């Protein structure tokens, strides 16, 4: 099982992201011959189902996971194709599924801040976070402004600094893990961290901000994946430069980082005259017969499908490494 952590600052859209992701999973479905599975325990299912139901009524969920954070854990399962390598019935040939287990955390919580400052993982949530090999970082685009006197600008600077330091601590923790394994006489492939950055609320980025940054006024859509990646990186260079520098460094403290992937997510809100300002309290724009009966959200569904497919690629990569390890073990 490959562990993954979803990190996000307060009100970064973490709960909304989970609700939209779960809605995509429900609407996509899976049959007995499909190569994808989704599993969550009863508490997580109830939580995510409740969030989805709220969103399908046109309302945004609460802005924070609060005390439910440790309950929001779920697993993606992907069918992998293996070459027969001459092993017995315990070989991967007879274990065709690879799982990726997710947990969602508030990166600005007191425990996380304490760890960033002290380097000591005092709480169980921090230890779970550090043991992850996949790091999904949520970035609130609603805070993106070039006004240096704005509180939002300062919040983004602090978030960038915290995430960059947390990434270094991730890598340091992996180095310590490797040393403990070596001291115990155990070997294994070097640690690899797979980073992904999800830009949330991309529909709230103001046109003047994009113009000043020299970016398109609309996110490239359709099959232009390279265009979307360039758009996202253009934003990150301006608003998360420290984080981007760490992720693009190749290695931090001797731990390898896979190439970062970016995802641009949005949920359309009900506005007046087609503008950006919501009518009263922000409401989700719905399509279909009616709220609560066949209604669907107007959101970046294709990006969530890309997100799922990205983890399919990671599952295959991890499975291939494990298959080689087993092959070497059988030959020894």
Model pLDDT for residues 33-50, shown as the tens digit of each residue: 577 888 888 888 888 899
What is the per-residue pLDDT across 129-175, written as a single tens digit (0 to 9) for each?
A: 788 888 898 999 988 999 999 999 998 998 898 888 888 888 888 88
- Give CA–CA dist 326/142, Å, rounded: 47
> pLDDT over 90 for what percent of the chain?
24
What pLDDT digit, counting tens, does each position of 265-314 carry? 999 988 655 555 555 678 898 887 654 556 789 999 999 999 998 998 88
Give the per-residue SS3 of 121-150: CCCHHHHHHHCCCEEEEEEEHHHCCCCCCC
**% of the chain exceeding 70 in pLDDT:** 72
Nearest to 55 by CA among 282, 306, 265: 282
Give the pLDDT confidence of 104-118 residue by residue, as tens digits.
765 545 556 666 677
CB 265 within 8 A of CB 221: no
Residue 231 pLDDT greater than 90, yes or no = yes
Report the alpha-carbon distance of residue 108 to residue 160 in Å, rounded. Answer: 11
Residue pLDDT, tens place only, 63-90 = 655 544 445 788 888 876 544 444 444 4
Distance CA(83)–CA(94), nearest Å, equals: 11
**Are 172 and 42 in contact, with CB atoms under 8 Å apart?**
no
Number of neighbours of residue 63 by Cβ within 10 angstroms: 13
Confidence band (pLDDT; 50, 70, 90) for 94?
A: very low
Helices vs. strands in the chain: H and E counts, helices first: 9, 11
Note the pLDDT tens digit of each residue in 236-256. Answer: 999 999 998 888 766 655 578
Q: How far apart are CA 52 and CA 58, in angstroms?
A: 10
């Amino acid at each position: 099982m490959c562990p993954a952590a979803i990190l996000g600052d307060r009100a970064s859209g973490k709960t909304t992201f989970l609700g939209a992701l779960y809605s995509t999973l429900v609407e996509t479905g899976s049959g007995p011959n499909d190569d994808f599975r989704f599993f969550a325990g009863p508490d997580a299912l109830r939580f995510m189902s409740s969030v989805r139901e709220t969103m399908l009524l046109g309302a945004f969920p609460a802005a924070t996971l609060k005390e439910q954070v440790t309950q929001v854990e779920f697993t993606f399962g992907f069918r992998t194709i293996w070459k027969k390598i001459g092993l017995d019935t315990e070989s991967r040939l007879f274990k065709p599924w690879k799982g990726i287990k997710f947990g969602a955390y508030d990166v600005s919580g007191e425990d996380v801040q304490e760890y960033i400052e002290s380097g000591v993982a005092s709480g169980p949530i921090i230890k779970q976070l550090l043991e992850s090999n996949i790091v999904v970082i949520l970035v609130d685009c609603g805070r993106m402004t070039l006004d240096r006197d704005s509180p939002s600008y300062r919040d983004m600077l602090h978030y960038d600094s915290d995430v960059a330091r947390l990434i270094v601590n991730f890598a340091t923790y992996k180095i310590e893990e490797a040393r403990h394994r070596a001291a115990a006489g155990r070997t294994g492939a070097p640690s690899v961290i797979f980073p992904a950055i999800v830009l949330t609320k991309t529909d709230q980025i103001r046109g003047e901000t994009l113009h000043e940054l020299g970016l398109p006024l609309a996110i490239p859509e359709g099959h232009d994946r390279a265009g979307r990646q360039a758009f996202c990186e253009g934003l990150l260079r301006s608003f998360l430069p420290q984080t981007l520098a760490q992720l693009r460094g190749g290695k931090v403290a001797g731990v390898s980082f896979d190439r970062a992937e970016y995802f641009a997510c949005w949920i359309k809100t009900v506005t007046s005259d087609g503008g950006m300002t919501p009518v009263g309290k922000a409401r989700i724009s719905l399509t279909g017969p009616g709220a609560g009966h066949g209604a669907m959200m107007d959101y970046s569904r294709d990006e969530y499908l890309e997100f799922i497919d990205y983890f399919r690629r990671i599952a295959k990569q991890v499975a291939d490494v494990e298959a080689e390890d087993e092959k070497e073990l059988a030959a020894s």
